[in-house]
Structure 1
Amino acid sequence: MLLNITWLLLWNQKLMIPALICLALIVFTSYLLIFFSCVGLQAHGAWLKQNHPTDLCCIYVLVQNGIATYATWTTIATLLNLTVVLDINSMSPTNAATVSLCLLLLEVIVWFVLENFVIEKHVHYIMTVYPVIIFALSGSLSKHYDAADPGRNAVFSAVLLVMACVFFLTRLFPGGLETP
């Protein structure tokens, strides 16, 4: 909470580089919270399942997905803040946005690989990452997409949106849409 308040104050004073650093720290600490939650469930999940199954369900649904929602949203906010910093420091707004979209693409691909092939048993119930990305990209496209003359970043955002939708469906239906 202290980092969030600090970020708001820095952003309000237009201190963009310190605000970017502060927001990146918010993202980092959110990722740490997810890690510690997963480690805690690894250590105590079996006991919770046997003695307090409702609490375990609440941890999966509310705690882990809540933290993942916040972490994803602040990750996107950090990339937007990075775009502003790059724009202020003599990069064209289009190129600055492209840099941030490339970083978002990299993060989405890395997360998909990690959650499905490396740490799947720990993050199996975290489902809110892709809906947050879908929501953010949909908002961006609804405001900035011009069908008559789509710019480079609008097309990039649309491709990222489709990718996030496919990854989300893959996460929801890991075995495909097979008939029982």
Structure 2
Amino acid sequence: MSGFTACAYILSTVLMTVIAGVSALLAALAGSGVGVELGIFNYTITEVSALYEIEATPAGWAFSIWLFIFVFEILWIAYALSTLCRSTKQGPVYVVAPVLPPEYTLLYSVNQLLLIGWLFLFDREFIGYSSIDLLFIFVTGFICLLINFRRVDKYQSYMQENLPQDLLANRVLVQNGVALYTTWTLVATLLNSAITLTYKANVDDTLSSTIMYILIIIITTLYFVLDVTVWNKYTRYTFTPYIVVIVASLGSLNFNFDPSSSASITMLISIILGIVYLVGKIFRTVITR
């Protein structure tokens, strides 16, 4: 690794840490109401959600998943920073196993700037634009995952022999943490889009919610097929996408099934498939170890 690349690696990691910290702080202010008191935001996120509630809007308890998202983020960013401070006999950890390269950290910085943008767009009730913003958050998060998956696969043999704890940290913290966050932003993208259909295009609430969950079912099924086949060597230890689908679907249904509602039916199907796919994923991982 050249001196310029090493410098870029360090600076981009520090930059990502700073931007992610600002993003988390603003998200906390937007969610707690302190941001409204300080004049930064007009409403809390919960208040805006209540203004544009649809059948698919998850119950309040489901949004506690953000706590887990931020805990994962704190842990894996702390791990990323630790790679700058630790060395092996062959050299610094970030040099001998560069699994979080500048293209990853810079792209995640962009992702966090987009999240900040979403907080303000949603607060100002630009629901359509906030949906587009969320889509870009999902795409950048997904690309970050692809980068890390490929890098970990590339350096897996070396890490198994020399850095087993780092290999574990990437699989548990980085990959599951970012996958948790990215999958939730995909659900949020579809939810915001359904809200836009209902409140801006005057589409029936139940129809918008049904479309949202049909898309979730299709995407989850496609992901599961890829996950246990062609992507298996990369995603073998990543389980959180299925947990997100289950939590989001349970939150939308909120234990209140209505057999006369097509939206309610698709939510129930999504829950069942999420559980089935998670069990299948665990089984696939166990038998391929």
TM-score normalized by structure 1? 0.92
Question: What is the CA–CA distance in structure 2 between the aligned matches of 1:176 and 1:150, rounded to whole Å?
Answer: 40
Q: 135, 140, 144: which one pairs with 2:252? A: 140
User: Aligned residue for 1:128?
Assistant: 240
User: Aligned residue for 1:168?
Assistant: 278
SS in 2 for 1:118: coil
Does structure 2 retain, via aligned residues, the 8 Å contact 1:170–1:176? no
Q: 64, 69, 73: which one pairs with 2:184? A: 73
Does structure 2 retain, via aligned residues, the 8 Å contact 1:138–1:161? yes
Question: What is the CA–CA distance in structure 1 between the aligned matches of 2:286 and 2:261, rounded to whole Å?
Answer: 34
Cα 1:51–1:139 change in 2 (3 A) is same
Give the CA deviation at 1:176: 9.2
Root mean square deviation of aligned Cα: 1.7
Q: 124, 128, 145: which one pairs with 1:17? A: 128
Cα 1:175–1:119 change in 2 (3 A) is closer
Question: What is the CA–CA distance in structure 2 between the aligned matches of 1:41 and 1:101, rounded to whole Å?
Answer: 33
Letter paired with 1:31: F
The list of structure 1 runs, each at least 4 consecutive aligned residues, that deviate by more than 6 angstroms after superposition, is none
Cα 1:82–1:171 change in 2 (3 A) is same
Question: What is the CA–CA distance in structure 2 between the aligned matches of 1:115 and 1:130, rounded to whole Å?
Answer: 11
Q: Which runs of 5+ in 1 are unaligned?
A: none
The reply to whether residue 91 of structure 1 matches residue 209 of structure 2 is no
Letter paired with 1:33: C
Give the CA deviation at 1:146: 4.2
Question: What is the CA–CA distance in structure 1 between the aligned matches of 2:284 and 2:180, rounded to whole Å?
Answer: 21
Question: What is the CA–CA distance in structure 2 between the aligned matches of 1:57 and 1:83, rounded to whole Å?
Answer: 38
Cα 1:124–1:91 change in 2 (3 A) is same
Question: What is the CA–CA distance in structure 1 between the aligned matches of 2:177 and 2:151, rounded to whole Å?
Answer: 16
The reply to whether residue 58 of structure 1 matches residue 169 of structure 2 is yes
Q: How many residues align?
A: 175
Give the CA deviation at 1:141: 1.2
Letter paired with 1:49: Q
Q: What percentage of aligned pairs have identical amino acids? A: 29
Cα 1:155–1:176 change in 2 (3 A) is farther
Give the CA deviation at 1:174: 2.4
Letter paired with 1:15: F
Larger Rg: 2
Question: What is the CA–CA distance in structure 1 between the aligned matches of 2:176 and 2:284, rounded to whole Å?
Answer: 18
Give the CA deviation at 1:16: 1.3
Question: What is the CA–CA distance in structure 2 between the aligned matches of 1:43 and 1:92, rounded to whole Å?
Answer: 49
Question: What is the CA–CA distance in structure 1 between the aligned matches of 2:257 and 2:219, rounded to whole Å?
Answer: 26
Does structure 1 retain, via aligned residues, the 8 Å contact 2:153–2:234? yes
User: Aligned residue for 1:155?
Assistant: 265
Give the CA deviation at 1:121: 0.7
Question: What is the CA–CA distance in structure 1 between the aligned matches of 2:152 and 2:285, rounded to whole Å?
Answer: 25
Spell out, residue by residue over 1:12-68, the C-alpha distance to the aligned partner (whole angstroms, 9 max, x if none): 111111111100000001100110001111221111111110110010000000010
Does structure 2 retain, via aligned residues, the 8 Å contact 1:105–1:160? yes
Q: Which runs of 5+ in 2 are unaligned?
A: 1-111
TM-score normalized by structure 2? 0.58
Question: What is the CA–CA distance in structure 1 between the aligned matches of 2:135 and 2:150, rounded to whole Å?
Answer: 23
